[in-house]
Every structure is written in structure tokens, then in C-alpha cells.
Amino acid sequence: MDINIDDILADLDRDTTAVEYSDPSQQLPSDGTTALMNSSIDASRYKQPQIDISPEKDFKQLMRLWRNERCSPELLSYPFLLMNRMLRRVQEQMDHIENVSMGFLEEYEGLESASTPNNKLQLLCMEAELERVKFVIRSYLRCRLNKVDKYMLYLRQLGDNEDDPSIIPLNELLSGHELQYHEKHSAILLKLLNNSILKHMPPELQAINDTEGSVSMVDEPNWNKFVFIYVKGFPNDPLLEEGESGKLCYTVSISDLNEDVELSVGGIYVMPYSVIRDLLMQEKIELI
């Protein structure tokens, strides 16, 4: 007689991991909030699923957002909380490195010290890491600014019909600085065009965002651009179904071809962006 005890074992596993979990997060001095939260949580609240924020998860998230932004045709919404945390950590780390290197100088001039080579190595790694984080953030923001440039008129149009509930308001799509850049930059460009060409045109041809003419002047993102996706999938997701081959998959349909496609978990596909946009927003797939 075989008794399946997998669920009992899984239950035991969960208990031990919960204890181990609090351990490393308390050893991360860089994130004061988690350490504080953990110490203030009493035993009864401990059982509840807590939203744990850790530097490594944040960095993973940032990498994912960076890659999505680079590959997607449209401007994705700005992760305010995540960026706040990342920028704060970069600032703190810069201060920390400064402090350590000051201490290192003192120590060096002072007495013998067995730990100096070690200290140097540590500083080297921390600086290298900081440069890596800064590179990702910089590349991410530059990529977004590029899209703000490209879709200037389209974004203005979005800003004009803010009442429409289906679209994200502009101040959630863009960060404060990006919004500022968008407004100033479009004003400057408009002034240049007006002064050099548009003022010589007949009044009915002076608009720069004319959509009635033979060619629409507002550049919209190419919603049907093909992108490479990786299907990540969550366990126990209600949207997941069993496909023909027995693997779990999402089913999406390409409307203008009347085709249904099964996206099995772990697979790589080339798909039109409009088809998989919802799945991307729910973080069930990644762009690669």
C-alpha cells in the first residue's frame, strides 16, 4: 500500500523555509525597512504572507523591466516605488563606499592590519557592483526617453483625453522628470517647426498633429510589432490550461487571422505584441 505523503512533506518544508527566510533578510543591512519589519512582527502576524522586499528581488525586477522596455514597441508605465528604492540604495551604497574607503585610509596609515588586502577587494567589488546597477538604471531611463521622443504627439493625445478610463493617465505612465522633459521638449520642437516652416503654410495646414489628412501625423506605437517572448507562467494560475501535449499553457487568439495559439510554459515564441500585451502586464511572460 502506497501512501502519498508529498503534501505532508511539503508542509514541513514550508515551516523550515519560513524560519530560514527571516535570517538572510536580517543580515542585509542595506535594506533597513525589511529588517525593521521583521523584528516588529509578532508570532501571530508571522503566518500571514508578507510582501517581502529584498535588494536582490528588486534588482531582478529592474532587469526584467529594462529588458521589457527595450523590446516592447510601446512605452510601459514607470515603476515609481521600485525606482525610488533602487535610487535610494544606490545613494546609500555610495555613502557606504565613501565611509569604508575613509576608514581604510585611516587604518592603512595607522597600525599593522591583516585585513587591508581583503578590504581592498571588498571595495573593488562594491564599486564594480555599483557601476553595474547604475548602468542598468541609465540604460533603462535613456530607452524610455527615446520612446518619449518618438511618441511625443501620441503621448500628447493621451494627455488630452484623460477622461477615457481605458488609458493610463500620463502622470502614471511617466515619472515627474520624464513628464517635464516631454513638455519642454515638445514645446521647443514646436517652436522650431513653427518659426521655420509652419508659419508660411496656409492656416488649415499648420497643425502638426493632423490625423484627417492623407497620412496621419501622429506616430502610434506599432501594436502588431513582432516580439520574442518567454512564457514564464505562475503555478496554480487559473488561466493555465492543459494543452494538446499535456503541458500547461495559455491560450491566446490572434483576432485578425482567427487563429488560436497555445503558449506552453517555458517556451519561446515570436508573437505580435498586441496579442500578448495583457499577459505581459500581468507578468506572466517576459520579452527577450
Partner 1 sequence: MSLPDQLESTFSPEEIQFIVENEPIRIFPRITTRKTKRPLPTGGGNNESVRWKLITTNDYNVNNMVAMQSTEVTLWLALLLKQQNKCSIVAPSWLTLKELDRSIQYEKTHADRFCPVPWNWLVLAQVLFKRAPEHFHDPVHELRAKVQDLREVRQLKVLRGLRHLNESHLQLDNLSLLEINELRPFIVNVMDKLRQLHVAKGTMEDEEEG
Where along the sequence are the contacts to partner 1 (CB under 8 A)?
Answer: 24, 27-30, 54-56, 59, 63, 67, 70-71, 89-90, 92-93, 96, 100, 103-104, 107, 113-115, 118-119, 121-122, 124-126, 128-130, 132-133, 135, 139, 142-143, 145-146, 149-150, 222, 224-228, 254, 256-257, 259, 261, 266-272, 288
Shortest Å distance, C-beta 17 to partner 1: 15
**Sequence-distant (≥ 6) Cβ neighbours of residue 39 within 8 angstroms:** 26
Element spanning 101, H or E: helix 80-109
Q: Select 126 or 218, whichever has its Cβ closest to partner 1.
A: 126
Measured distance CA(76)–CA(68) in Å, rounded: 8
Closest CA to 231 of 169, 272, 186, 276: 276
Name the one residue in this structure whose C-alpha cell is 508542509: 11
Shortest Å distance, C-beta 246 to partner 1: 15
Per-residue DSSP letter, 78: P
Measured distance CA(13)–CA(244) in Å, rounded: 33
Cell of 176: 515627474
Q: Select 42 or 106, whichever has its Cβ closest to partner 1.
A: 106
Cell of 275: 496579442
Shortest Å distance, C-beta 142 to partner 1: 5
Shortest Å distance, C-beta 209 to partner 1: 20
Chain-centre distance for alpha carbon 109: 45
Torsion of CA 137, 58, 92, 133, to 10 degrees: -30
Name the one residue in this structure whose C-alpha cell is 494543452: 243
Q: Select 240 or 249, whichever has its Cβ closest to partner 1.
A: 249
Shortest Å distance, C-beta 132 to partner 1: 7
Cell of 172: 502614471
Beta bridge partners of 241: 249
Q: Select 76 or 133, whichever has its Cβ closest to partner 1.
A: 133
* CA torsion through residues 84, 88, 91, 97, sign: negative
Q: Select 136 or 206, whichever has its Cβ closest to partner 1.
A: 136
Q: Select 112 or 204, whichever has its Cβ closest to partner 1.
A: 112
Shortest Å distance, C-beta 120 to partner 1: 9
Shortest Å distance, C-beta 102 to partner 1: 10
Q: Select 123 or 169, whichever has its Cβ closest to partner 1.
A: 123
